[in-house]
Amino acid sequence: MTSQKDVGRFAPAPTGYLHLGHVLNAIHVWGHARAHGGTVLLRIEDHDRERCRPEYEAALLEDLDWLGFVPDAPLVRQSDRGLIYEAMAARLRAQGLLYACRCTRKVLGSGSPGVLGSKGPEIRYRGTCSDLDLPFDGDVGWRVRMPGDTITFADQWCGAQTQTPANQCGDLLIRDRRGNWTYQFVATVDDHVQGITHVIRGVDLLPSTGRQILLGRLIGREAPARFAHHALIMKSPTHKLSKSDGDTGVRDLRAAGWTRGRVLASASVHVEEV
């Protein structure tokens, strides 16, 4: 990972306040870029209109500035990029790769198990709606027919990886029944459109990498980004820090009198673990 044209990204979702896990990721992202003459883009992943809040975005931008993490370009919000996602979805539909899905969460929960992931067996979509030719309007989600390709890639920290998305998750949901674009889709599209060359993120997202590489091929990305998945800061042996739980919030640490240096040092301790 030594290109002089490295483009990385820090991509928080404004669904809660920043915690030490985000600080650790920022240290990795900005550290790599500064060490290799690269740039960092800031992307606000607010595609989930039901969970994202303006006050969380304002707080995370303030915390990043206080911590000294300055992006190299104006921030981008996914909520402003609907036309880009629609165009990519249209490309998939024109290839015959997109179909409407009316399955509810209950139906999805009864799907067949896929491979073992970081949180246990992943539910694999059974293709219930794949041949029904349902209309794309109304109360339906949109799914991509995932080829059976096996994806291999070398992760900087986790080593050689082999993943077959069709066996892990089945056909991939790119827009849910409420009209929200999904993380897997918008992250893949944005990494392609923004020219992201290096994706540095937590190891909990390692199982998503193969499907994002494969989806990237389907929307026209010739060469995938390079990936590095770092260890997480855990609050217990089985649970990572969570924004929704309010874990180790940067704002709370600031209110308790922690300095910028102390916050960075607390997160930096875990850099040695990767």
The domain locations on the chain are: 1-80+249-274
pLDDT of residue 2: 43
pLDDT of residue 104: 87
Mean pLDDT of each 10-residue bin along the chain, 274 residues long:
75 94 96 96 95 95 98 97 98 97 81 50 89 95 98 97 96 96 98 98 96 98 97 67 61 94 91 51
Radius of gyration (C-alpha) of the chain in whole angstroms:
19
Produce one character per residue of 198-222: b if its CB has 16 or more CB atoms within 10 Å, e if not: bbbbbbeebbbbbbbbbbbbbbebe
Dmax (CA) for the chain in angstroms is 59
User: Topology of domain 1-80+249-274, per CATH?
Assistant: Rossmann fold (3.40.50)
Q: Are 219 and 174 in contact (CB under 8 A)?
A: no
84, 92, 124, 175, 256 from 186: Cα distances, Å: 9, 14, 20, 9, 36
Alpha helices in 36-193 (DSSP H): 54-67, 82-94, 105-109, 165-168, 183-193
48, 176, 196 from 226: Cα distances, Å: 26, 28, 9
pLDDT of residue 1: 42
| Residue 143, beta-bridge partner list | 99, 173
| Residue 98, beta-bridge partner list | 144
pLDDT of residue 272: 47
